Amino acid sequence: MRVFKIAAVSAAAVMVLAACGEAPSEETETTPDAGSTAGGDGGTETGDSEGETAAAGGDNADFKACMVSDAGGFDDQSFNQGAYSGLLAAEKNLGITKAEAESNSDAEFGPNIDAMVQQDCDFVIGVGFLLEDAIQAAAEANPETTFGLLDSGFSDENFAPVELDNGKPILFNTSEAAFLAGYLAAGMTETDKVATYGGLPIPSVQIFMDGFSDGVNQYNEDNGTAVELLGWDKEAQNGSFANSFDDQSQGASLGEQFISQGADIIMPVAGPVGLGTASVAEGTDTKLIWVDSDGYVTTEYGDLILTSVLKDMGPAVEATIQESVEGSFTNEPYVGTLENGGVSLAPFYDFEDAVPQELKDKLAEYEEQIKSGELVIESPNAP
Amino acid sequence: MSDSSTPGHAATSPRTGSSVLRQIVGGDVVISFLAVVIALAIGGVLIAFADEQVATTVSYVFARPSDFLAASWEAVSEAYKALFRGAVFDYEADTLNRKVRPLTESMTFAIPLILAGLGIAVGFRAGLFNIGAQGQIIVGGILAAYVGFAFDLPPVVHLLLCILGGALGGAFWGFIPGILKARTGANEVIVTIMLNWIAVSLIAYVLTLGRFNASGTGLRSPQIDSSAAYPPLIPDALFPGNTFRLHWGFVVAILATIFVWWLLDRSTIGFEIRAAGANPHAARTAGMSVGRITVLTMVIAGALAGLAATSQVLVGGGSLTAGVAATYGFDAITVALLGRSRPLGTFLAGLLFGAFQAGGTLMQSVTPTPIDIVFVVQSVIVLLIAAPPLVRAIFRLPDPDAPPRASRAATKEAAA
């Protein structure tokens, strides 16, 4: 019972310290407060968020978009967080209501999605490949609700792709931005050798490498050079892989290999594995091209990073929510491109002055060509 | 806390040794119950303090305390109501199916916790601190899934073989620390923790191999055959149109509970296990082979943890992913502690934690309360149960189960 005494004493202390403020006048503060308590079933949460969204001027408060994370949680500084920022942006800009559930393990995907459906969510987004089965099962069981799945399509039990009437894959054609990165790398190399490697041989990784390869070839064609790409053969769809998304020692040994073969620009497509490559590149003349997030901002190796191939989860999520809000939901996959801003090339930061203006102009030109559809980056891994 | 358990208890269970583990395990039902109550109370305080409305009103609590109290009550009661609705009975749902479903969800979540908890409990009773349930679940899961998708067998046989595979995988992973402890005296805590990490790397590697990697992603195995899945426990005929996930794995959990009760309380092996746990020297003097008992205990513990994996893998459309063990291996330690390492206690503790998990899902989605509150409640439970004996051991305070007068003094000191 001593516990209670201590708790009571400390609570009292907190009150004494914190409670010297004055009560707001009845009219200004308690009216919305009373409104929210009378608001009913949703309790305090809906009271708060509805108040906010109404202030933002949205009239879509009756549309509810919901999101379920994978085991990383919404604060993983990566994939989930990017997707969640899109949900928050949609709440702010479109005035929708939102709900979200974090999964702490694979076993919670199904129950969390079910909880969202039970809350009358209009649109439920699952973040990541691992939620595919759970989203698919929920979509089949709840034909009235629409679903989105980030970074993966739907497939049957034999991994053949299927389409769902109420399920929308949200995918990224990163080859477009990777093409620009490849062109840039070929223009910046001093050894005429650049390199790339992947985490696992899966389409969402290989598509970066395909675009990069095309960019290098385009530069060679334009300038009559012979810049060589190590680590990926687009024709054969064969190359170097770390076989991991978290083993940095693999990234270090692959990096050492490429550097000893003479490559001076490396693009690791393997998440944190790339940090291993950065550690061996430090102190040499080797530069890196980061992927997914802006490596200059998110890693400690900003001075090595020439640029990053960005895969922008937030705008993609917001765009698909907007589409649903406007009543034009289709099961057509959303594909992030240069055109719609779903993928892009990050600024050069420290290398801004090192990149010749001529090369910058050429990149801008190709970017326009890709956006207008004049130039199509072909890839067997394209969504 | 400790003082509530002392009277009466000292008379019924005299202690022979003074190991911390034995004291934690040998506690009282009352402590377990109070630990849960207090943890929920502390959870309530945290919910209130994390709530924005409460934070606003606390700044003028002396000017108008009613606002603060109303806001606190609102936040805490909404959160716990949601927890109840998600775990036991959803009185706000439209259909009977939906109303009843939360309880079945709690039971579904409880299956792996009960099974792995029983594994830990058996170890505790033998005086072994088996931290390796996590790895044992993973290896059991690998084997169960492999038998599940790689073979084409008739329904019941297939399921039984998969269950056997899961148990064997876990048993093998338990055998390693058992034999190392028996032969070389290697500390089972360290060995099992290391084996957990080996299992984590093992499953990541296995998922990239041949038949496991049909998807080409290295993240998920093919789905198991429908013949290898646990059938739903409540058939459609009994409850038309139900969407319950609850499956026959729950029956496995009940059978395992009965088995562990029989093993520990009725069998010769169980007597040896308990004897070795109470005093290995005495057991050895009495002619028992403590090494053999150690190996056997770890194999049984591993097999039970391996069964926990089957409830995750052998469901309709189930497949193996690197996250198959979630955190069940560690939650199971809490479950075994709360259940006082008794079979029935572990079963009930597993149900309670399953209910927390099921309720937490709804709570985080309908209230602003983060699901982390559930972990805080679980952690406080462990702390309250494990801490009093630990604190006594650290400060070399006398055991309250000693004669009454000493006991009173000890609890005063312990509390101070």
The predicted complex's ipTM stands at 0.72
> Across the interface, which of A18, A111, A243 has its CB nearest the CB of B358?
A111
Same domain, A262 and A359: yes
Cα A22 → chain centroid: 45
Q: Name the domain count of chain A.
A: 2
Residues in chain B: 416
The reply to whether A242 falls in a domain is: yes
Identify all chain A residues contacting B326, using CB atoms and an 8 Å cutoff: 104-108
Same domain, A281 and A331: no
Identify all chain B residues contacting A117, using CB atoms and an 8 Å cutoff: none
Residue A174 pLDDT: 92
Same domain, A194 and A108: no
Distance in Å, alpha carbon of B331 to nearest chain A alpha carbon: 12
Residue A52 pLDDT: 41
Closest residue on chain B to A108 (Cα)? B361
Question: Alpha-carbon distance A127 to A116, whole Å?
Answer: 14
Residue A5 pLDDT: 60
Q: How many residue contacts between A and B have a Cβ separation below 8 Å?
A: 138
Identify all chain A residues contacting B321, using CB atoms and an 8 Å cutoff: 106, 130
| pTM exceeds cut of 0.90 | no
Residue A18 pLDDT: 52
Q: Do A43 and B78 touch (CB under 8 A)?
A: yes
Closest residue on chain B to A134 (Cα)? B317
Identify all chain B residues contacting A202, using CB atoms and an 8 Å cutoff: 216-218
Read off the tokens for B172. 């093998």
Distance in Å, alpha carbon of B156 to nearest chain A alpha carbon: 21
Same domain, A366 and A240: yes
Residue B378 pLDDT: 85
Q: Do A15 and B62 touch (CB under 8 A)?
A: yes
Which CATH number is A160's domain given? 3.40.50.2300
Residue A77 pLDDT: 66
The reply to whether A15 falls in a domain is: no
Question: How does strand A161-162 pair with strand A154-155?
Answer: antiparallel
Residue B346 pLDDT: 95
Same domain, A102 and A248: no
The reply to whether A1 falls in a domain is: no
Same domain, A184 and A273: yes
Identify all chain A residues contacting B317, using CB atoms and an 8 Å cutoff: 133, 137, 157
Same domain, A319 and A303: no
Residue B394 pLDDT: 63
Residue A22 pLDDT: 64
User: Could you tell me the residue range of the domain that residue A228 belongs to?
Assistant: 175-311+353-372
Residues of chain B with pLDDT under 50: 1-18, 406-416
The reply to whether A108 falls in a domain is: yes
The reply to whether A33 falls in a domain is: no
Disruptive mutation site among A31, A98, A105 for chain B (greatest number of B CBs within 10 Å): A105
Question: Alpha-carbon distance A92 to A61, whole Å?
Answer: 11
Q: Do B62 and A19 touch (CB under 8 A)?
A: yes
Same domain, A216 and A281: yes
Residue A70 pLDDT: 83
CA-CA-CA-CA dihedral for A348, A352, A357, A362, to nearest 10: 0
The reply to whether A268 falls in a domain is: yes
Closest residue on chain A to B110 (Cα)? A107
Identify all chain A residues contacting B220, using CB atoms and an 8 Å cutoff: 130
User: How would you class B294 by CB atoms within 10 Å of its CB: exposed for 0-12, middle for 13-18, buried for 19 or more?
Assistant: buried
Distance linking the first and last C-alpha atoms of chain B: 12
Residue A209 pLDDT: 95
Same domain, A253 and A366: yes
Residue B407 pLDDT: 45
> Across the interface, which of A2, A23, A106 has its CB nearest the CB of B60?
A23
Q: Do A44 and B53 touch (CB under 8 A)?
A: yes
Residues of chain A with pLDDT under 50: 1, 27-57
Q: String of b and e for B156-189 (b: at least 16 CB within 10 Å)?
A: eebbebbbbbbbbbbbbbbbbbbbbbbeeeeebe
The reply to whether A380 falls in a domain is: no
Identify all chain A residues contacting B70, using CB atoms and an 8 Å cutoff: 37
Same domain, A284 and A140: no
Same domain, A146 and A197: no
> Across the interface, which of A37, A101, A157 has its CB nearest the CB of B364?
A101
Distance in Å, alpha carbon of A200 to nearest chain B alpha carbon: 7
Same domain, A262 and A204: yes
Residue A215 pLDDT: 95
